[in-house]
Structure 1
Amino acid sequence: MMTGQWLVGLGLAAAVVVAVAEDGAAERDSAQAVMDCMRANIPQRLQLRELELRNRDAEGESSRIYRARVYLQRADGRAHMTSYIEAPVDMRGTAYLWRELESRDETFVFIPELNRVRRVVGSGADAGVLDSEFSMRDLQQAQGAFSSGQQELLGSDELDGRPVWRMRFTPAPEEPTPYLHVDAAVDRESCVTLQAEFIDGKGVVKRYHADPDSLQTIGDLHFAQHIRMDNLRNERSSSARLRELELPEELPRRVFMPSAFYHGR
């Protein structure tokens, strides 16, 4: 899966602007109130100066460390994402552009060795970026971002000492997902998803974590700097670290143009 696609999901998963009552919780305990709190004010523009990604195999061995700079812009309910790979050295200069269109999405990649932009066929929304356990669809589903389906509030309790809402996200039959439902623990104070379990007919497939000790605030924006995805079937895991997140008032138009995105950073 292309890096830009996954990072759209990452923007949804790691950072949501909070619309809460004065006591730091939603005005009422209902599924709609929690969803409004999670999704109503996702930032229109985001710049991430460094994303660090690390994968571990079933034996706990770590692969190469990947680093990227990321730009996200949302307009009319659709997202555009551009990312620039800065490490490892053999991938430096590679750039990805992902654009969400009305009926499909499209991905472009700039390959520095060829000095050429290529269009990628297929969305690859279920594949992991850079052989990781993160995929765009998983990260969106962790936020209840199915294009259709049901969101259910199961109750409230605590996770690692923090009050959370327990939510269940069930896709509509036509939704392209292997999961029966996703169960999420949503932090009552920040409305960030701290944990999500992806469940099929055999049980939990993957488990997503956001480190509550890494929660940060920029203005009204709450986000987790450290997130992890564990695959319980193949025993692999992937972790991501976000550094220097900014909310610019504007981003250069060329950053999201297929003909110029690779010049835009």
Structure 2
Amino acid sequence: MLISPSGLLAASPSPATASSVEQWVNCLKANLPQRSVLTLKTRTFDARGEVSSRSLTLYSQRSEARQQATVQITAPHDLAGTAYLLQKHNGQELTLSYLPALGRVQRISGERNGPLLDTTISTSDVRHVLNGFADGSLLIGKAGQVNDWPTRRIFITAPPGESSDYDKIELEVADPQCVVVEARFYARNRLLKTITAAPGSLVRQGAYHYARKLKVVAPKDPLYTELEITGYQADIEIDSSRFDPHSFFRGR
């Protein structure tokens, strides 16, 4: 799945032909299962060392018209049961949270780029990753390399008038695996966040490639987060209650 100073945005890439854009979009989408369940562990650090760790399960389901994801925290004990529901249907977004201490579901609105449970990951980041970075207009840039992976750079610009935390995203897509191994998020030509796949972390399971370890860094944030995928299930049946606003937070 998933680094560059703002100066890289100044070099405008040549617009790709429609066929090449379509080729890369289709390749990225083909590497995204329609339904998946991931178990993950996050570890967040500051200059002195680790400050927090989280274990969680991510359920996702997507189609052309609708994307849905539920994040459930399983550890540590004081946060277990916390859950988030993210939905996008025909361009309309909905984000809900459930905190066991409050015992009720709340809608998240306004600034969506805040940290998710003391990490450097936001719900907006989760949306982009699960949707395969498919929203917006695309330009294909030059070939490059990240760690040991040959890559193709892809530039994404948010659609006019769309509410988004980022207006530009640069992707480095491993070729031929079609996995985003580096993503850089910008607003007003200012780098806000970088998500990078750890060296040697690309793996294949069944028909899909993915990066097992990621690092999330925000230049102005003293914290950074390391994420590891510890379990991966693709194209399996997921109970619809996982994405129901009235039951997404309930354990099974």
Both structures adopt the same fold (TM-score exceeding 0.5): yes
Letter in 2 for 1:84: Q
Match of 2:12 in 1: none
State the TM-score, normalized to the length of structure 2. 0.80
Match of 1:32 in 2: 22
Assess, with a 3 A threshold, how the Cα gap between structure 1 residues 96 and 169 changes in structure 2: closer, same or farther. Answer: closer
Q: Out of 157, 181, 199, which is 2:168 matched to?
A: 181
Q: Distance in 2 between matches of 1:171 and 1:146?
A: 10
Conserved in 2, the CA contact under 8 Å of 1:196 and 1:209? yes
Match of 1:85 in 2: 73
Q: Out of 146, 154, 162, which is 2:149 matched to?
A: 162
Conserved in 2, the CA contact under 8 Å of 1:55 and 1:62? yes
Q: Out of 43, 47, 53, which is 2:42 matched to?
A: 53
Aligned-pair distance for 1:156?
0.9
Assess, with a 3 A threshold, how the Cα gap between structure 1 residues 98 and 153 changes in structure 2: closer, same or farther. Answer: closer
Match of 1:23 in 2: none
Match of 1:147 in 2: 135
Match of 1:67 in 2: 55
SS in 2 for 1:36: helix
Assess, with a 3 A threshold, how the Cα gap between structure 1 residues 76 and 128 changes in structure 2: closer, same or farther. Answer: same
Q: Distance in 2 between matches of 1:204 and 1:141?
A: 16
Letter in 2 for 1:43: P
Seq. identity, %: 25
Aligned-pair distance for 1:52?
0.9
Conserved in 2, the CA contact under 8 Å of 1:210 and 1:224? yes
Q: Distance in 1 between matches of 2:28 and 2:78?
A: 38
Aligned-pair distance for 1:238?
1.4
Assess, with a 3 A threshold, how the Cα gap between structure 1 residues 226 and 184 changes in structure 2: closer, same or farther. Answer: same
Letter in 1 for 2:119: S
Aligned-pair distance for 1:124?
5.0
Letter in 1 for 2:90: E
Aligned-pair distance for 1:214?
1.3
Match of 1:132 in 2: 119
What do the CA deviations read for 1:5-39 (whole angstroms, capped 9, x no partner)? xxxxxxxx45xxxxxxxxxxxxx993332222112
